[in-house]
Amino acid sequence: MKTIAFFDTKPYDRESFSRLADENLNIRFFENKLNADTVSMAACCDGVCAFVNDSIDKTVIDKLEEYGVGVVALRCAGYNNVDLKHANGKIRILRVPAYSPYAVAEHTMGLILTLNRKLHRSYIRTRDHNFSLEGLTGFDLKDKTVGIIGTGKIGCVFADICKGFGMNILGFDPYPNENFKGEYVDLDTLLASSDIISLHCPLTKKNTHLINRETIEKMKKGVYIINTSRGRLVSTEALIEGIKTGKVGAAGLDVYEEETTLFFEDYSEEVLLDDKLSTLISMPNVIVTSHQAFLTREALDAIAKTTLQNLTDYFSGKELINEVVVNR
């Protein structure tokens, strides 16, 4: 039997993984995030399961190697929190490349609909017995242009949803997808032409702060910016500035560049010390959700099944089809 140290555990993780794991894997669930201070919890384990805000840096990798841990199974698609070059030859890094693109794409459209039709504000008003419609005017999505940056599986599903609303669809991706039902254009054309811009790309060194003062300046006045991908794709300072000037009409964020110590935790009894996040949350035309776009029953089961299969394949010596290989 192989023992797996499972970090950053939440009740929904325990339920799906406990239900689907076979008798050959002994999972030790820890609430702590994986980092240099907690990596010792993986001692005497054969593998590690980590999530998006766990830190698999040089120190953690060296400690895992020292403990004899040969595999880190990421229960997510992204791997920007892993030092891949340092892991090369020391630790095998596995991931879940796809779970439910529908979950993230549908959440994205939910953010757009809520922002546009002011559903969040209406909900609060009617609870206070305020039935005024003042300030709740939205716009038809039909014939509006949506710019999708990143046209992988999630981007393509989101494009299909937008097509159902009768929207014009533009796409930008260095690697065009034949399944994308929209028109590919260069980034500047997408920025200048889109009423709504939605991010569905992985985070890399090249696209960190892809949304910044310069790119926002190229956008339409009143543009909606939606990010359900990775927080550091958007410069928070530039976004706040754009909202204050009216250049950005609204923002829907399921991710935030400084989310690591905040998201997935309950701080409702504490003062929020992050001034930029506090500013965003206070704005009536901004919705921040806590990295929940993936959170559907179907997605959780798919994540668990793929992660467990990745681990089983590793310990069985099979081909690791979901291994993340460093670019040499």
Distance from chain centroid for Cα 256: 9
pLDDT digits (tens, 9 = 90+) for 251-302: 999 999 999 889 988 999 999 999 999 999 999 999 999 999 999 999 999 9
Residue 197 gets which letter from DSSP?
E
139 shares its domain with 169: yes
Active-site pick, 75, 107, 232, 291: 291
pLDDT of res. 191: 98
Average pLDDT (303-313) is 96
Q: Tell me, yes or no, if 259 is annotated catalytic.
A: yes
pLDDT of res. 327: 60
User: Into how many domains does the chain fold?
Assistant: 2
| CATH for 12 | 3.40.50.720
Q: Is residue 208 part of a domain?
A: yes
Cα dihedral 265/271/277/280 (nearest 10): 120
CA distances in angstroms from 56 to 11, 72, 84, 96, 267, listed in the order given: 23, 9, 9, 16, 25
pLDDT of res. 325: 84
215 shares its domain with 157: yes
Which domain, by its residues, includes 60? 2-99+297-316
Average pLDDT (27-42) is 96
Beta strands 223-227 and 196-199 are parallel
Active-site pick, 259, 265, 298, 319: 259
Active-site pick, 75, 92, 230, 232: 230
Give DSSP secondary structure letters for 138-174.
----TT-EEEEE--SHHHHHHHHHHHHTT-EEEEE-S
Q: Tell me, yes or no, if 232 is annotated catalytic.
A: no
Q: Tell me, yes or no, if 230 is annotated catalytic.
A: yes
Q: Is residue 138 part of a domain?
A: yes
86 shares its domain with 227: no
Give DSSP secondary structure letters for 68-89.
T--EEEESSS--TTB-HHHHTT
236 shares its domain with 212: yes
Q: Is residue 53 part of a domain?
A: yes
Model confidence at 15: pLDDT above 60:
yes
Cα angle, residue 227 at apex, residues 226 and 230 outer, rounded to 5°: 170
113 shares its domain with 65: no
42 shares its domain with 150: no
Model confidence at 68: pLDDT above 60:
yes
